[in-house]
Each structure stands twice: as structure tokens, then as C-alpha cells.
Structure 1
Amino acid sequence: MVSYNTKDWFTFIFRFHKADTFRTLLPLMLGIGVYSGIVGYLEVVYWKLSDNSYVKNITIMHGMFGFVISLLLVFRTNTAYDRWWEGRKMWGALVNNSRNFAIKLSVILTDEKDIAYFRKLIPSYASILSKHLKDEETAKQLFDDVDLEIDHHKHKPNQVAKMLFQKINDLYNSKKISGDQLIILNDEVKSFTDICGACERIKNTPIPYSYSAFIKKFIFFYVMTLPFGYALSLGFYVVPVIVFIFYVLASLELIAEEIEDPFGTDENDLPTHKMAENIKKHVEELL
């Protein structure tokens, strides 16, 4: 994740981070600027349209659809942020459950070999889950047009969870823990799998294609028609105005695209590897 000071306004305004949408959109912004300049030249210089031309009334359409596109982008951004925040809550729960599991085991267990086993395996679940969620095949499991030959016996987080429960069951069979303790520890292992399933749901269920494609098309055609109406009012100043409008609208869509998959490798995605390292440090302190 990008580390920053939320109160440092001038840094936000004048610094362009590599994750900033300006860098990504710059080629398109230049193209939109050239296009707007051509439209402005044709209307103002070549055709010499008057202020009474009906072309100027196209701005009425933009005023009507501007409200609609604003609602769509707000909903799009909020939906993407909800996915990002849910992913963060799931990993927060994984951190807390790992700590609780380690605390209970540190009190219940007395054999150093058993303690060392869990000291190694509990952090391994978080580390393997982080790698599992960054795997592209995980994101494609529900796609109709992708036929993946997935061996579900090699689902690594499930294998680690199975090893944890197997060890707990062996402790019960060897009378090292009671039946009540088995139930308590079983709930902790079960929570790991619940968290994994919730993260996979976010990972392999993207925003519906029709909705995402419609917003992109809407932004494109909306911006491409802006110069026709505003060139008569603004002249060649229409170029920076249209470029700025495109930058704002397209940036909101890009930001939503980036954060809707919180387990990727983008700058603003969740630092799951760092969280896994913190879990390892905390478990080793407790066990």
C-alpha cells in the first residue's frame, strides 16, 4: 500500500505518484485534446458556426446525462470500495483468529514439540493464503469460457487447515486435550476456512461485465460529444476543459477497477504479504 500523510494537502496536489491515474490516462488525454482541438477548429474557424446554431444546444443533453453518469460512477466506486474494505476485514479477522488460536494453544499445550508444530503452521496458513489469492487461476474459477484443470486436492490453504485439524484431533486421541478443548480449537480452525472462502468469493466474482462495459462506453461517448456543444462557447479553451472532464470521469473508473480486486499486485491493493509476516511475528511471540 502507498504510505502517505492524510493532512499533507500540497503533496497530494503537486506530486504524481506512479499509481496516479494521470500517468495511465496521459496518452488518452492527449488524444482527446487533439480531437477537441480539431472539432473546435472546424466549428469556430472553418465552418464559422454562429452562436445561434443548433449545435450549441447539444449541451442540454450533456446536462441531462451528467447527472446520470455521476450516479453510475458513485455506485461503481462505492461497490469497488466495499469489496476492498470487505477484503481488509477478512484479513483483519485472520490476524485476530491467528492470535486467539495461538493464545489458547499456549495455555493448553505443554509439550514443546506440539507448540513448535503450531508455531510454524499457523503463520504458514496466512502466507499460503496470500499467495493463493494472487494466483490468476483463483480469479478465473467461475468464468464460463475458461476450462481450468484444477486439482482440488492441491488447494493449499485447505491442506494447511487439514493439517491443523489433524494435529488437534491427534492431541485429543492422545489425551493431551479434552473434548471441550477440542471443540474450542475446532472453531478457530473453521474460521480460517471461512475467511479463505470469503476472500475467494471477492477474488473470483468480478463486477458484472455488462455493467463495467456500459460505464466505459458511456464515458467515452459522453466525452467525445462534449466538444461539439462547448466549442462555440469556449473556443479553443474547449481543449483543456474537455481533457480535464475526461481525466476526472476516467480516473474514477480506473480507481474502481484497481480496488475492486484487493488481493492483486497494484499499489493500492491490500498488503497481504506484510499482514502474513505480522501474523508470524505475533504467533512466535505467543508460542
Structure 2
Amino acid sequence: MVQYNPKDWITYIFKFHKSDTFRQLIPMMLLIGAYSATVCYLEIHFFKLKDDSHVKNISIMHTTVGFVLSLLLAYRTNTAYDRWWEGRKLWGSLVNNSRNLAIKLSAILENESDKNYFRKIIPGYASILAKHLTNEEVGKVLFEGLDLEIDHNKHKPNQVAKMIFNKINDLYKSNKISGDQLIILNAELQSFTDVCGACERIKNTPIPYSYSAFIKKFIFFYVMTLPFGYVFSLGYYVVPVVVFIFYVLASLELIAEEIEDPFGTDENDLPIAKIASNIKKHVEEIL
């Protein structure tokens, strides 16, 4: 995730970060510029259209549908940001629940070996979940002194959650924790799987294809028809104007595409590996 100072305007205006949409759109912008220049040349020099030509009235269409396009893009970016923010809230919940579970176990458990097990297995769940969401391979030994027999053909976070609950159940059977304490711990144990399921829902349910494809087509045909009407009033200045309009509209769509899946490896995705590392640090401090 990109760390930045939101008050530093000058840097953001004149600096192009590698995650900036400008870099990704340069090829398309050059093609749009060449296309606009070709349309301008044909209308002015080849067909020699006059100012009273009906082609000039095409700009009326852009005024009409431009408002609709702006609404679609606003909804698109808001929906994508909601998915990104929900993912951040879920991982914030995982941080708090991991802390709460560690705090309760630190007060309940007396055996140091039991504490040491949870000191490693609780952060282990966050680390496994982060790798699961980013489709990374999970090693057999996650932390020193704790061997996790992970079956790569089965759901990995569920395996770790099962290990945690089995250990809690063994402590209950050996009378190291009471029935009331088992009930107290259940909320945090259940929350781990709830967070995992919600994250998977975001990751595995993209924006419907027809909606995303329609917006791309809408932007494309909107931009491709811009030069026809505005040539009469702008001349060859229509080239930079059309390129800039394409840059703005296409950038909004690219930003929405990037943040709608917050568990990837893009520059603006959530730093879930870092959050998992913080969970490990906090749990070790508590236990």
C-alpha cells in the first residue's frame, strides 16, 4: 500500500508514481491523439466541412450522455471503494479479536507451554489467511518451534482455526479451563472464520461482467465521437482536449478495477501481510 502525505499537493501534481494511471494509459492516449488528429484533418482539409454542417451538432449528444456517464463512474468508484473499505474493516476486526483472545488466554492459562502454543498459533491464522487471500504458497513450518501440518488440497485457514479450537477443547477436557471460560473464548474463535468468509466473499465476487464491460464500451464510444463535433470550435486543439478527457474517464475506471479486489498485490491494495505481522507482534507482547 502506498504511504503518502495527503497535504503535499506539489509532489502529487508533478510526480508520476508507478501506480499512477497515466503510465498505464500512455499507449491508449497516443492512439486516441492520433485518431483525433486524423478526424480533424479529414473534416477540415479533406471533406472541408463548413460550420453549418450537421456533424457539428454531435456535441449535443455528448452534453446529454455525459451526465449519465458521470453517474455511472461515480457509482462504479464508490462501489469499488466500499469493497476496499470493507476489507480493511474486516482485517481491523481480526486484529482486535486476536488481541482479545490473547488477553483472555493470558489471564486464564497458567502453563507456559500452553501460552507459548497460542503465542504462535494465533498470529499463524492471520498469516495463513493473508497468504490464502493472495494465493501464495504456505510453508509447513510457519513459526520457529511450531509445526503446522497444512494440507494444500484443503482450506488452509480452516485447518488452523480447527487446530486452535482443538487445543482449547483439550484444555477444557483437562480441566485447565472451565465451561464458562470456554464460552467466553468462543466469540473470538468464531470471529476468525467469520472474517475469513467475508474476505473470501469480496475476493470471489467481482463486479458483474456486463456492468464493467458496458462502462468500458461507453467510455470508448463517448471519447471516439468527441472529435467529430468539437473540431469546428477547437480545430487541432481538439487533440489534447480529447486525450485529456479520455485520461480522466479511463483513470476512474482503472482505479475502480484496482481497489475492488483489496487482497491482491497492487500498489493500492490492503497491506494484509503487514497487518498480520502487527498481529504477531501484539500477541507476543500479550502472551
TM-score by length of 1: 0.94
- Corresponding letter in the other structure for 2:261: D
- 1:125: Cα distance to partner? 0.3
- Corresponding letter in the other structure for 2:196: C
Aligned to 1:128: 128
- Corresponding letter in the other structure for 1:259: I
User: SS where residue 105 of structure 1 aligns?
Assistant: helix
Aligned to 2:206: 206
Matching of residue 195 in structure 1 with residue 195 in structure 2: yes
* Residues 191-244 of structure 1, C-alpha deviations (whole Å, 9 max, x = no match): 000000000000000000000000000000010000001111100000000000
* Residues 133-154 of structure 1, C-alpha deviations (whole Å, 9 max, x = no match): 01299xxxxxxxxxxxxx9962
User: SS where residue 97 of structure 1 aligns?
Assistant: helix
Aligned to 2:271: 271
Aligned length: 274
Matching of residue 108 in structure 1 with residue 108 in structure 2: yes
Aligned to 2:31: 31
- 1:43: Cα distance to partner? 0.7
Aligned to 1:7: 7
Aligned to 1:170: 170
Task: Give, in whole Å, the separation in 2 of the partners of 1:11 and 1:184.
Answer: 50
Task: Give, in whole Å, the separation in 2 of the partners of 1:46 and 1:197.
Answer: 61
Aligned to 2:80: 80
User: SS where residue 154 of structure 1 aligns?
Assistant: coil
Where structure 2 has 5 or more consecutive residues not aligned to the other structure, the ranges are 138-150
Aligned to 1:54: 54
Percent identity of equivalent pairs: 78
User: SS where residue 163 of structure 1 aligns?
Assistant: helix
Task: Give, in whole Å, the separation in 2 of the partners of 1:152 and 1:211.
Answer: 35
- 1:45: Cα distance to partner? 1.7
Moved more, 252-261 or 178-187: 178-187
Task: Give, in whole Å, the separation in 2 of the partners of 1:135 and 1:117.
Answer: 26
Task: Give, in whole Å, the separation in 1 of the partners of 2:124 and 2:136.
Answer: 20
- 1:187: Cα distance to partner? 1.4
Task: Give, in whole Å, the separation in 1 of the partners of 2:246 and 2:29.
Answer: 7
User: SS where residue 3 of structure 1 aligns?
Assistant: coil
Task: Give, in whole Å, the separation in 1 of the partners of 2:12 and 2:278.
Answer: 29
Task: Give, in whole Å, the separation in 2 of the partners of 1:136 and 1:212.
Answer: 27
Question: After TM superposition, where is structure 1 displaced by more than 6 Å over at least 4 residues in a row?
Answer: none
TM-score by length of 2: 0.94
Cα RMSD over matched residues? 1.3
* Residues 268-287 of structure 1, C-alpha deviations (whole Å, 9 max, x = no match): 00000000000000000000
Where structure 1 has 5 or more consecutive residues not aligned to the other structure, the ranges are 138-150
Task: Give, in whole Å, the separation in 1 of the partners of 2:119 and 2:257.
Answer: 38
- 1:186: Cα distance to partner? 1.5
